[in-house]
Amino acid sequence: MFIERLTIIGVGLIGGSLARALKRAGACGEIVGCGRNTANLQHAIELGVIDRYDTNPAVAVKDADRVVVAVPLGAMADLFAAIRDALSPQAIITDVGSVKATVVADARQHLGQHLPRFVPGHPIAGTEKSGVAASFAELFENHRVILTPLPETDSTAHAKIKTMWQLTKAEVIDMSVEHHDEVLAATSHLPHLLAYSLVDTLAKMEERSEIFQYAAGGFRDFTRIASSEPRMWHDITLANREAILKVLDRFNTNLAELADAIRQGESQEIENTFSRAKAARDKLSTL
């Protein structure tokens, strides 16, 4: 058995989908869930996602050979501190956080002697839904999982976490912590900020009921991610603020230039902007 006992702390969309995928692959002997919501954990058992659960993280990680931390970024530090003394010497720990610099800082501060067996990670997959009921085994198929191993990271631990994600049929790549946060600020964090801001702007307009009534497919597609869990994205935004502000400043500059072109009636500049965007998007769809 590749994993004798897997503990997943945070049995939601990501944690639950990982459990389902590894069960489908026959890779786990036992999966232990952990969280604060007992109703959610009990539902996870009823769905066959986990085998048992405990609301105490220190108890949940006892004798686990793999530990996956899938809690909000703001809860990472306390969680690492809570499990540090209960981890077995052989336990390998990873996370699924969307920002790596803050997670790594928390791990360095609180994991102590276990740091070499901590492999920071981030699956680039998800939906706007949350909770274990939204989880499904195919979530990671043909999606990328980014690992950001540290200079101290044990090579065997790194290899085992890589294999774990490959068993979900994901493509696993390595990246530095800094580069990960810069890339995700542009490709994930900024789009969520824009979706939230657009929906909030329109919701404040007096005629908002009519606006939403006539919202077409483009609006629904673009703003779908504004249905994501607000607290989670609040934490992500603050945790990666420097990288987000950098790409947000560039976006604001380009948006101001487009607004000026519209104001001045610069037809060619407007068409050039749209054409460049279409070409880039069409190229992206073939990758």
pLDDT tens digits, 169-187:
999 999 999 999 999 999 9
Instruction: Tell me: pLDDT of 219 over 90.
Output: no
Query: What's the pLDDT score for residue 209?
Result: 65
Interval 262-270 mean pLDDT: 96
Interval 136-160 mean pLDDT: 97
User: Residues of the chain with pLDDT > 90: what percent?
Assistant: 85
Query: What's the pLDDT score for residue 213?
Result: 76
Top pLDDT among 285 and 233 is at 233
Using DSSP's 3-state secondary structure scheme, residue 6 falls into strand
Interval 78-94 mean pLDDT: 97
Domain 3-175 homologous superfamily, CATH: NAD(P)-binding Rossmann-like Domain (3.40.50.720)
Report the distance separating Cα 258 and Cα 141, nearest Å. 38
Query: What's the pLDDT score for residue 287?
Result: 61
Top pLDDT among 261 and 215 is at 261
Query: What's the pLDDT score for residue 218?
Result: 82
Report the distance separating Cα 15 and Cα 1, nearest Å. 20
Instruction: Tell me: pLDDT of 68 over 80.
Output: yes
Contacts of residue 145, Cβ cutoff 8 Å, sequence gap at least 6 = 121, 122, 123, 124, 125, 165, 168, 170, 171, 172, 173
pTM score, whole prediction: 0.90
Query: What's the pLDDT score for residue 206?
Result: 66
Instruction: Tell me: pLDDT of 223 over 90.
Output: no
Domain boundaries, the chain: 3-175, 179-285
Sheet holding 3-9, edge to edge: 52-54, 28-34, 3-9, 66-69, 92-95, 118-119
- Identity at 106, one-letter amino acid code: D
Query: What's the pLDDT score for residue 33?
Result: 98
Pairing of β 52-54 and β 66-69: unpaired
Mean pLDDT of the chain: 94
Interval 46-59 mean pLDDT: 97
Query: What's the pLDDT score for residue 208?
Result: 61
If pLDDT is split at 50, 70 and 90, which confidence band does 207 have? low
Query: What's the pLDDT score for residue 70?
Result: 97
Interval 8-13 mean pLDDT: 96
**CATH architecture assignment, domain 179-285:** Orthogonal Bundle (1.10)
- Identity at 180, one-letter amino acid code: H
Least confident of 212-216, 227-231, 242-246, 262-266: 212-216
